[in-house]
Structure 1
Amino acid sequence: MSLAVRWIRLLMVVSAAGFAGAAFAIRAPMDGPIEQYSGAALSAAIVYTIVICLRPLISPLSAGSAAVAYCWFIEFAQLTPIPAALSQRSWFARQLLGAQFDLIDVAWYPVGVIPLIAAHWFLQARTRSQTDPAPALTS
């Protein structure tokens, strides 16, 4: 495993922890629509960082698509009784699976991922431009 891949994975773990901390800090004082929507967006951001941690060389669009698809899968699974039953038994399961379906969350997951896709693309393009040799001048 290359040093760059190790650094990417470390950065993703730190980013996921930062997003989780932000989500809990926003939710701690009260429980309203802002806290709920930011929680959905930040949870999608956490999933994005997990995707990058697992597959560091994945393209930004693929990582974003995988993160949003996973979040939507979990959200729509909440239409079944299984996540609610698991969430009643475990705080951790509630954090991972939620307890009830909310259509508004479906719209907020991409909001949490789109800025990360843009940042990922920017950093990827910047890295490529720094590693590509300068074009040869021809006369």
Structure 2
Amino acid sequence: MLRTDWTRRLLALAAAIAVLAIALLIRALADGPLEQHSGTALYASMIYAGVFVLRPRTTPLVAGAAAIAFCWLVELSQLTGVPAYLSEHSLLARLARGVAYDPLDMLWYPAGVLPLVAVHLLMLARLVVRPGP
């Protein structure tokens, strides 16, 4: 494995930890819709970062699509009642899988991922276009 793969993984892990810290801070300070929707968007952005922890050479577009698809799959699974049952018995399951389906979450997941994809693509473009000394 290349050294840059480990660097990418560490950066993605640091980004995920930073997003988690922001989510917890918002949860501690905010109330109502801001708390709910920002948590949903930040959850999706953590999944985006997680893709790079698992597969550091993934392109931003593929990582974005994978993160949104994963979040949508988790949200749709809440229609089965299984996540609600698991959440009754585990705080970790509640945090990871949620409890009840919320159609608004289907919109907030892309809101958490698409800005990251755009910034990531801009950063990569600057690296490619950056003029020499």
Quote the offset at 1:76 in angstroms: 0.6
What is the aligned partner in structure 2 of residue 112 from structure 1? 112
Quote the offset at 1:129 in angstroms: 3.2
Give deviations 1:74-110, integer Å, cap 9, x for gaps: 0010011100010111111111000001011110000
What is the aligned partner in structure 1 of residue 83 from structure 2? 83
One-letter amino acid of the structure 2 residue matched with residue 106 of structure 1: M
Aligned residue-pair number: 133
Q: In the aligned structure 1, how far is the partner of 2:2 from the partner of 2:126?
A: 19
One-letter amino acid of the structure 2 residue matched with residue 42 of structure 1: L
State the 4+ residue runs in structure 1 displaced beyond 4 angstroms.
none
Q: In the aligned structure 2, how far is the partner of 1:89 from the partner of 1:20?
A: 23
What is the aligned partner in structure 2 of residue 66 from structure 1? 66
What is the aligned partner in structure 2 of residue 122 from structure 1? 122
Quote the offset at 1:127 in angstroms: 2.5
What is the aligned partner in structure 1 of residue 23 from structure 2? 23
What is the aligned partner in structure 2 of residue 35 from structure 1? 35
Structure 1: unaligned runs, 5 residues or longer: 134-139
Give deviations 1:102-136, integer Å, cap 9, x for gaps: 01111000000011101111122223335x98xxx
Identical aligned pairs, as a percentage? 44
What is the aligned partner in structure 1 of residue 49 from structure 2? 49
* Normalised TM-score (structure 1): 0.89
Give deviations 1:7-34, integer Å, cap 9, x for gaps: 1100111110111111111112354111
Please give the root-mean-square deviation of Cα atoms over the aligned residues, in Å: 1.8
Q: In the aligned structure 1, how far is the partner of 2:52 from the partner of 2:104?
A: 26
Of 21-30 and 37-46, more deviation after overlay is shown by 21-30
Computing the radius of gyration over CA atoms, which structure comes out larger, 1 or 2? Answer: 1
Q: In the aligned structure 1, how far is the partner of 2:64 from the partner of 2:10?
A: 19
